[in-house]
Amino acid sequence: MVEVRLEGVTKRFGEVLAADDVNLTINDGEFFTLLGPSGCGKTTTMRIIAGLEYPTEGKVYYNGVDVTQLPSFRRNTGMVFQNYALWPHMTVSENVAYGLNVRKTPREEARRRVDEMLELVHLGGLGDRFPNQLSGGQQQRVALARVLVINPGILLLDEPLSNLDAKLRVEMREEIKEIQRRLGITTVYVTHDQEEAMAVSDRVAIQDKGRIMQVGTPHEVYDRPGNLFVATFIGKGTLLEGTVESCGDLTGVRVGDMLFEGVTTCDEEVTEGSKVACVLRPEYFTVREPPEPSNSVEGTIEWSAFVGPITEVRINVGGVSLLVDAPPDREYETGSTLRVYIPKRKTIVLPWMEL
Ligand SMILES: Nc1ncnc2c1ncn2[C@@H]1O[C@H](COP(=O)(O)OP(=O)(O)O)[C@@H](O)[C@H]1O
Ligand SMILES: [Mg+2]
């Protein structure tokens, strides 16, 4: 069982700052995700944890022991990549047994371990197939079994589901989560998909241009984003530039003609007159007046799309466009007016920053 700690980890590739002063503690048994846009340094950070890359500056600790210069094969980590990297000329069982054979595990024990792992990833009975006789999802399970068979202290998964179609991705993420929970293995997961990150993780680190912008539970980063980058990267929403009119428990923010009262501020830096960003998630809005005190605005319907559980509606309020999740059981005619309500304490207000 392993706790991983990164201290001031920086990685430069020439001019490129791939990891910028990364400080993280990944708890023993935790499902921890690095989330961020393509090129933000997720893979580099993970490769540094694995020992496949050495930091330009900073330290990596496993259970408090400095492993910064320890090569990857001495760290007992298991890594699964997006492209599976199975050996095509070996059967499923042979692929999974590979790490055990390298370690000279007795044949009987190896066979037992391989069968156990194939059961764990729901591939029991498919051991004699070759990788090209399996679906993408099944191949990814083999890759997972091949890594887990050696009992790694840390499981590292780099965009493992990116090659699968949407439905399979959801199924596989549930399975990976279930396997991780059952084994209690410290897991670092890399994805650019915020929904996937929220669904599987105990905690998420959001990375941008090499830097960690926030670390928190899915609820913390969604409900209390630490800055504007996090607020816009995670979840949908309308971002509005506003000015703080009054501060304190009932902070009020003006956006054009609209005044939002009693909003949640995440940051003490926000004071009266501050230029701020208001983040309004589409699900904050209600179309029927809620029983609790709320802000309300009226706008003209610009666009609507029925997507099943909700209808997405865009309304224009004095030139400002708001995205609203509306009940799906009625029509929203373009050009007609719609009044929407936003419960107090819902709106997120953050110091303005240029993205
Ligand atoms: N071996 C390398 N040599 C030079 N630049 C690299 C190398 N690996 C990554 N980079 C650069 O570092 C940045 C971060 O890359 P990466 O960690 O792969 O991001 P992510 O996994 O988030 O997409 C990118 O700008 C990428 O081009
Ligand atoms: Mg990557």
Q: 91-109: per-residue pLDDT in tens?
A: 999 999 999 998 899 999 9
**Interacting residues of 45 by C-beta distance below 8 A, sequence separation 6+:** 6, 9, 11, 19, 22, 34, 207
Average pLDDT over residues 6-28: 97
The predicted-structure confidence for 147-164, as pLDDT tens digits, reads as follows 999 999 999 999 999 888
3-class DSSP assignment, residue 251: coil
Q: Which residue has the CA at smallest separation from atom 8 of ligand 1?
A: 44
**What pLDDT shows up at residue 267?**
67
Cα-to-centroid distance, 81 and ligand 2 (Å): 10
In whole angstroms, give the CA distance from residue 239 to residue 73.
46
**What pLDDT shows up at residue 293?**
81
Residue 170 has which token pair? 């959801």
Does residue 347 register a pLDDT over 90?
no
Answer CATH for 236-351 from 2.40.50.140, 2.70.70.10, 2.40.50.100, 3.20.20.20: 2.40.50.140
- For 283, phi and psi rounded to 5 degrees? -80, -5
User: Which atom of ligand 1 lies nearest, measured to the CA of 207?
Assistant: 22
User: Which atom of ligand 1 lies nearest, measured to the CA of 53?
Assistant: 1
Average pLDDT over residues 270-281: 86
Average pLDDT over residues 196-213: 97
44 Cβ below 6 A of ligand 1: yes
More reliable by pLDDT, 271 or 4: 4
Test site for ligand 1: of 44, 81, 188, most ligand atoms within 8 A of the Cβ: 44
3-class DSSP assignment, residue 80: strand
Ion ligand 2: residues, Cβ under 5 Å:
43
Least confident window among 9-13, 197-201, 240-244: 240-244
Are 239 and 233 within 8 A, CB to CB?
no
Average pLDDT over residues 318-345: 92
Does residue 249 register a pLDDT over 70?
no
Does residue 318 register a pLDDT over 80?
yes
Residue 164's Cα: distance from chain center in Å? Answer: 17
**What pLDDT shows up at residue 270?**
77
**What pLDDT shows up at residue 343?**
82
Q: What is the DSSP string of 106-134?
A: -HHHHHHHHHHHHHHTT-TT-TTS-GGGS
Query: Any idea of the CA torsion for 198, 203, 209, 210, to the nearest 10 degrees?
Result: -150
User: Which atom of ligand 1 lies nearest, measured to the CA of 159?
Assistant: 21
Q: Which residue has the CA at smallest separation from atom 21 of ligand 1?
A: 43
Average pLDDT over residues 313-337: 94
Does residue 354 register a pLDDT over 80?
no
Average pLDDT over residues 241-270: 79
Task: Give the global pTM.
Answer: 0.91
- Fold for 4-228, please state it: Rossmann fold (3.40.50)
Query: Mean pLDDT score of the chain, rounded to an integer?
Result: 92
**What pLDDT shows up at residue 72?**
92
Highest mean pLDDT among 34-38, 167-171, 246-250: 34-38
Average pLDDT over residues 6-26: 97
Where in the chain are the domains? 4-228, 236-351
- Checking phi first, is residue 121 left (phi over 0); if not, alpha (psi -120 to 50) or beta? alpha
43 Cβ below 6 A of ligand 1: yes
Does residue 47 register a pLDDT over 70?
yes
Q: Which residue has the CA at smallest separation from atom 18 of ligand 1?
A: 43
**What pLDDT shows up at residue 299?**
95
**What pLDDT shows up at residue 266?**
64
Confidence band of 10 (pLDDT split at 50, 70, 90): very high
Share of the chain above pLDDT 70, in %: 98
* Structure-token match 């993408």, residue found: 136
Average pLDDT over residues 335-353: 86
Confidence band of 322 (pLDDT split at 50, 70, 90): very high
The predicted-structure confidence for 59-93, as pLDDT tens digits, reads as follows 999 999 999 999 998 999 999 988 878 999 999 99
